[in-house]
């Protein structure tokens, strides 16, 4: 039996959406993509997840392409993303120019220098010092969760409670990390308001 998006779903949840999450290996890029997919699946959407990372992984570049759709997905490749979650300068330089007009870039400003490469015309940018915020919370490892909270507030592809349930599921074997990650998500959500 095919599920559909919840009746209170946002307009963004009712159409196909193509996203890229990118940064350095070790920043939680692939985990962030998995959380997006787990959340969308929980709400009855179709998803694809296509990770890519350099041979050195930690410290090298990493990205994942995520497609979320209310119907069957024809291709997992994301050549023209509707949105980006960017954690470093190299990823911004690579992916920002191909973002669709009307799209959204959520940018870790404490890990990204964009002086030489402005976003394309018609693309909104939500810039937040996520790595600094995470360090202030006690662990830079929650930078990705701060970014996810901001992203899902600015672009409600899935409900916050669904994303938090996916986070709890992912951290089931690491219960000691759950409180910090929930706080990180909530702090990111506060940063995403008003976009």
How many other C-beta atoms are found inside a 10 Å radius of the C-beta of residue 57? 13
Q: Which residues pair with 83 in a beta bridge?
A: 19, 104
Given this model, what pLDDT does residue 175 score? 77
Question: Residues of 126-145 as b/e, b for ≥16 C-beta within 10 angstroms?
Answer: bbbbbbbbbeebeebbbbbb
In sign, the C-alpha dihedral spanning 20, 156, 160, 143 is: positive
Give me the domains of the chain, ranges plus CATH numbers: 15-112+121-192 (3.40.920.10)
Task: Give me the phi and psi of 31, to 5 degrees please.
Answer: -65, -40
Given this model, what pLDDT does residue 111 score? 76
In the numeric block, which tokens belong to residue 97?
């120019």
Distances (CA, A) of 117 to 62, 65, 88, 121: 20, 22, 13, 12
Name the H helices within the chain. 29-42, 89-95, 130-137, 143-154, 160-170, 178-192
Given this model, what pLDDT does residue 1 score? 34
Half-sphere exposure of 74 (CA within 13 A, CB side): 1
Given this model, what pLDDT does residue 2 score? 43
Residues found in the chain: 195
Distances (CA, A) of 43 to 1, 96, 120, 122, 144: 14, 28, 31, 29, 21
In the numeric block, which tokens belong to residue 129?
């010092």
Q: What does each of the 195 residues of the chain score in pLDDT, given as a tens digit?
A: 344 445 555 666 678 999 999 999 889 999 999 999 999 999 999 999 999 976 555 567 899 999 999 999 999 999 999 999 999 998 999 999 999 999 999 999 997 887 766 788 899 999 999 999 999 999 999 999 999 999 999 999 999 999 999 999 998 888 788 999 999 999 999 998 866
């Amino acid at each position: 039996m095919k599920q559909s998006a919840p009746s209170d779903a946002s307009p963004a949840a009712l159409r196909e959406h193509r996203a890229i999450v990118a940064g350095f290996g070790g920043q939680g890029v692939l985990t962030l993509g998995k959380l997006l997919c787990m959340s969308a699946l929980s709400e009855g959407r179709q998803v694809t997840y296509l990770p890519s990372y350099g041979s050195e992984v930690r410290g090298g570049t990493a990205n994942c392409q995520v497609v979320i759709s209310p119907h069957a997905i024809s291709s997992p490749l994301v050549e023209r993303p509707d949105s980006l979650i960017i954690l470093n300068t190299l990823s911004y330089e690579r992916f920002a120019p191909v973002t669709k007009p009307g799209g959204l870039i959520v940018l870790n400003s404490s890990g990204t220098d964009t002086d030489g490469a402005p976003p394309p015309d018609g693309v909104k940018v939500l810039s937040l010092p996520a790595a600094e915020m995470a360090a202030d919370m006690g662990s830079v490892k929650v930078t990705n969760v701060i970014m996810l909270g901001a992203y899902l507030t600015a672009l409600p592809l899935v409900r916050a409670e669904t994303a938090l349930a996916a986070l709890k599921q992912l951290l089931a074997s690491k219960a000691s990390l759950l409180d910090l990650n929930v706080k990180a998500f909530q702090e990111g959500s506060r940063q995403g308001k008003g976009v």
